[in-house]
Amino acid sequence: SILGFMQTFLGALIGAAIGQAYNGTVTPLAAGFCSVSVAALLMILIAERGRMFQPHNPPVSGHVTDLH
């Protein structure tokens, strides 16, 4: 599928960039992890419209945990 292709292609590009920055230390790898983590967090913020960790739907009444 196109999503699998894009994920593999972008992952290879990012991995190649991190690999080219290799200088014998783990610094480029750590910087790469931090960079892609921040990018993922920004994408989540965009997808969630800035409302992270908040319920999207009202609670369902009559749920099993509500019956006492």
Quote the pLDDT of residue 9. Answer: 96
Quote the pLDDT of residue 31. Answer: 92
Can you tell me the distance from the alpha carbon of 54 to that of 58, in angstroms, rounded to the nearest whole number?
11
Point out the least confidently predicted range of 5-9, 48-52, 58-62: 58-62
- The mean per-residue pLDDT over the stretch 53-57 comes to 73
Within-domain flag for 27: yes
Compute CA 51 distance to the chain's CA centroid, rounded to the nearest angstrom.
15
Within-domain flag for 56: no
DSSP state of 60: P
Q: Which residue range(s) make up the domain with 29?
A: 2-50
Within-domain flag for 9: yes
**Cβ atoms of residues 39 and 32 within 8 Å:** no
Within-domain flag for 41: yes
Within-domain flag for 59: no
Within-domain flag for 55: no
Neighbours of 36 (CB within 10 A): 15
- The mean per-residue pLDDT over the stretch 32-54 comes to 86
Within-domain flag for 32: yes
Within-domain flag for 64: no
- The mean per-residue pLDDT over the stretch 34-60 comes to 83
User: Number of folded domains in the chain?
Assistant: 1
